[in-house]
Structure 1
């Protein structure tokens, strides 16, 4: 069964006015392709390798058709469409072809898919305990203690350790680096921090 929780959107209008609750889907996690392939293999006579090969070919065909300028419709699933971006201008003559580029792929679910999910069984997810918040000094001490034991920490690990947002974690780690407490290593998805000796 799927889960939901009741949440309020932040009030961006009249100050002090409470916003109504609405239901939000609460996922258990994300199921990857490999896990789905194993489940499909258990239900058919095809091997996992066969299904994986077909899945890769299927992905390649979607990309190919989008590159050729077509939308891709998968019956019972939906339609994939490429979207574009360009600099905002008031006169269309100012737009040059070189300034137009791919932006993202949009997905529109089919009516058939929506109908199949119409009777989705739901139950209310357990209320999350309010996370403890820490002061900046407490966060500093916690990360230094963590680095003494673990040697390195990523931005995501800092967020979990101190129950803070990504912006807060990034700001703290930049400050600690400038203060000479930590040193940055790696780049991009492999970026992490170590304690200065």
Structure 2
């Protein structure tokens, strides 16, 4: 599997004013994001279930996942990861000043289990991550997959410093 990156310049520590600039790899997503129907189709190829059964099961999973999170539980799915809620607030000087109103927003966080984590070194060829520079890709020096993937304005960009917990 290949993932394309581009090189970007930004402050080495964005929290420090006038910190020296460095160059970082920034991962690029090719094409549009996939949806539930696409994933269901891919799963149906390896299952005796119908696409409708798979979609229904996945939709029910999402409903029940949210339900459990709203009950204050974490949800640990073996082979996938742990889902949990996290609160955002400005903080207070004294502990006694913290109330439910201190919470500005709540988000769902996800921490991948070891089985799902992606590394640059893998024992199985299908799980190996190859990083390819955008310049080499655009110059035709390398191809991705079957060669049908092309950079698209519909993709998204992330980098190694992005926090997976949001």
Normalised TM-score (structure 1): 0.55
Q: Which residue is equivalent to 1:33? A: 36
Q: How far 1:94 moved relative to its partner?
A: 1.8
Count of residues in correspondence between the two structures: 129
SS of match in other structure, 2:93? coil
More displaced stretch, 48-57 vs 27-36 = 27-36
Counterpart among 48, 62, 66 of residue 65 in structure 2: 62
**Which residue of the other structure, out of 107, 112, 117, is the alignment partner of 1:114?**
117
Q: Is the 8 A contact 2:79 2:115 kept in 1?
A: yes
In structure 2, the residue matched to 1:7 is 7
> Is the counterpart of residue 124 in structure 1 residue 132 in structure 2?
yes
- Report the Cα distance in structure 2 between the residues aligned to 1:14 and 1:90, rounded to whole angstroms: 25
CA distance in 1, matches of 2:26, 2:10: 14
CA shift, 1:113, in A, is 1.6
Deviations 1:116-166 (A, max 9, x none): 77432314244298xxxxxxxxxxxxxxxxxxxxxxxxxxxxxx8xxxxxx
Which structure has more helix as a fraction of its residues? 1
> Alpha carbons of 1:89 and 1:50: their partners in 2 closer, same or farther (altered >3 Å)?
same
Q: Is the 8 A contact 2:4 2:134 kept in 1?
A: no
Structure-1 separation of matches of 2:134 and 2:78 = 36
Secondary structure, in 3 states, of the residue corresponding to 1:112? coil
The whole-number CA distance in structure 1 between the counterparts of 2:103 and 2:58 is 31
Partners of 1:39 and 1:7 in 2: CA distance: 33
Change (3 A) 1:3 1:106: same
Give the Å deviation of 1:91.
1.3
TM-score by length of 2: 0.64
Q: Tell me the C-alpha RMSD between the 2 structures.
A: 3.0
Q: Of the two, which has the highest radius of gyration? A: 1
Matched residue, 1:48: 51
Q: CA deviation at 1:74?
A: 1.0
